[in-house]
Chain A
Amino acid sequence: MTSAGRFLAAGKVAIAGFAHSPVTRVEQMPLGVLTIETIKGAVADAGVTLDMIDGFSTASALVSSSGRDVVDGIHTVSSDWVVSQLGLEPRWVVGFQGIGQVSASFMLAVEAIASGAVDYAVVHRAMHNPSGSYHANPMVEAHGSAQWEAPQGMWGPPTYMALPYMEYLQRYGARREDLAEIVVAQREAGAAYPWSYWKDDPITVDDYMSARMIADPMSILDCDIPVNGVAAFVLTTAERVRDLPNNPVYVRGSAMGTRRSSNMLADFAMDNIIAGGKHTASKLWQSSGLRPDEVDVPQIYDGFSPVLWFWLEALGYAPDGQGYQFAKDPVATAGMTFRTGGGSIGTGRMHGVPQLLETYLQLSRRAGERQLNRADVGIACHGLPHAGAAIALTAEPN
């Protein structure tokens, strides 16, 4: 008898290894080449060989809102492109379209392995930093949902995110200074993370408070810095992973959010983020059979810094309107991105990679000087709470 919503393959799929490229503002080599090198690194780290990999998954989207042309292998790197270059004949090659890209494309591979469709899978994420302003769009006509916003001068994720951030400050009496503390902590944690653009480059509260504003109350420091970089993970079954060199980390469950609105603006109403986020959270806790207080390493997403508060409340770590206070508790938040890893704000725009990688490293006891004493259960979240995805991981299969 299993509970409703429980992940039936819990503990049956494991992460065997990983690799991460350097992260840079300006690309040092074509993104596709960097991806192939990183995948080869992950395969070697996992103790397997490329010819054993029979499944590939990614979410390859360039998330810039600039409307640029995109060439696979240059600005994005799909799994199809990887396979075409490597000359492999894998059984299974997929891509995820949607939000929560890293967590969700990871779960596509987990499900393929759990079902027996694949024995060893590679999941990668390749991020490209386009030249010029990341989200600036020179459109002269607006189509689709943009027609309701662009003619009024409303455009781009940092601008949308300003709306729930402002609403949160106004409704709950939080201040930018409260988020400043957390962003400073993110950068401090990110300064100690090996694949951080902000390695050894922390900031102060004053730096945050005087940072260039994009759209009040969002400043440049509330946005993760766009980078070029690639990360890759190797997954296999719990049986096969026992023969491999690294401590395995097992997949316990997952959840996906579902946008309720076809209107971008309504998606960024704070109430909708939290209400939808609570659906995502309840699916995560049902799927994994875990409770929030059982998670040692809750790596919640922070591509825009206010999202931290929203995830905290959606996941049940703090009641509505109290996430900003909860975030200040160094003990209760010891495994979060702003204490270890640095998340996206602290390391760069690698999407959900730092959250997933730090969870993996902590649970597999590979976090080096950052290693937490208690690191048996983790979650890795990506995206917004109501339109993202989350994975629960454990150091033991049961």
Chain B
Amino acid sequence: MCTGCQSTKPAFEWKVVSGRGRVRSWTTIRQALLPAFAADVPYTVAMVELYEQAGLIMTGQLHDIDLADITLDMPVRAEYTELSQGVKVPHFVPVTT
């Protein structure tokens, strides 16, 4: 189902995206509601809108930046964290150029 055009037979296909986008918002988590992350607090998670499409929002931890330097709409790009063998999740880092 496509929530954009309401087609029940959408021609979805996988596409490679740039992994680049802007920070819509972020939060620094100080109490992990997922106990698996309890040892990692505090950590910062960003809501990122990818440049490919307005409203295309994904989430990932924000690494390699001081909290005071995070700003709304700042450009970021995705990298990957290997949580365990074969399991990778995206995180974001600031685009400095």
Contact = CB atoms under 8 A, between A and B. Distances in A.
A268 B59 CA distance: 12
A155 B89 contact: no
Contacts of A139: 34, 36
Interface residues of A, number: 42
B86 interface: no
Contact of A170 (B36, B57, B72): B72
B47 interface: yes
B57 to A, nearest CB: 5
Interface residues of B, number: 33
Contacts of A152: 45, 59-61, 89-91
Contact of A153 (B3, B26, B40, B72): B40
Identify whether the interface residues of B are mostly helix, strand, loop, or mixed: strand
A154 B30 contact: no
Contacts of B43: 153
Contacts of A81: none
Interface in A122-150: 133, 135-140, 148-150
A148 B89 CA distance: 9
A269 B37 contact: no
A263 B40 CA distance: 25
B32 interface: yes
B61 to A, nearest CB: 6
A136 B35 contact: yes
Contact of B72 (A162, A167, A215, A216): A167
B25 A153 contact: no
A117 interface: no
Nearest to B37: A153
A214 B42 CA distance: 10
Interface of B: 3, 24-37, 40, 43, 45, 47, 55, 57-61, 67, 71-72, 83, 87, 89-91
A153 B90 contact: no
Interface in A179-238: 212-218
B80 to A, nearest CB: 11
A149 B59 contact: yes
A8 interface: no
Contacts of B59: 148-149, 152, 154, 265
A170 B24 CA distance: 10
B25 A155 contact: no
A153 B36 CA distance: 8
Contacts of B24: 163, 167, 269
B30 A213 contact: yes
A170 B71 contact: yes
Nearest to B90: A152
Contacts of A156: 33
A372 interface: no
B34 to A, nearest CB: 5
B57 A266 contact: yes
A163 B58 contact: no
A153 B45 contact: yes
A137 B27 contact: no
Contacts of B58: 148, 265
Contacts of A150: 34
A158 B30 CA distance: 11
Given A149-B59, A152-B91, A270 B25 contact: yes
A28 interface: no
Given A166-B26, A214-B30, A154 B45 contact: yes
Contacts of B25: 163-164, 166-167, 170, 269-270
26 contacts: A65-B33, A137-B33, A138-B34, A138-B36, A139-B36, A140-B36, A151-B87, A152-B45, A152-B91, A153-B37, A153-B45, A153-B61, A154-B45, A158-B33, A164-B25, A166-B27, A171-B72, A214-B29, A214-B31, A215-B30, A215-B31, A216-B28, A218-B27, A265-B57, A265-B58, A270-B25
A155 to B, nearest CB: 5
B70 to A, nearest CB: 9
A136 B33 contact: yes
B57 A215 contact: no
A170 B27 CA distance: 12
Contact of A155 (B28, B34, B71): B34
A133 B26 CA distance: 23
Given A154-B45, A163-B25, A167-B24, A263 B30 contact: no
Given A133-B33, A214-B30, A266-B57, 6 more contacts: A136-B35, A153-B37, A153-B61, A159-B29, A266-B55, A268-B47
A150 B89 CA distance: 10
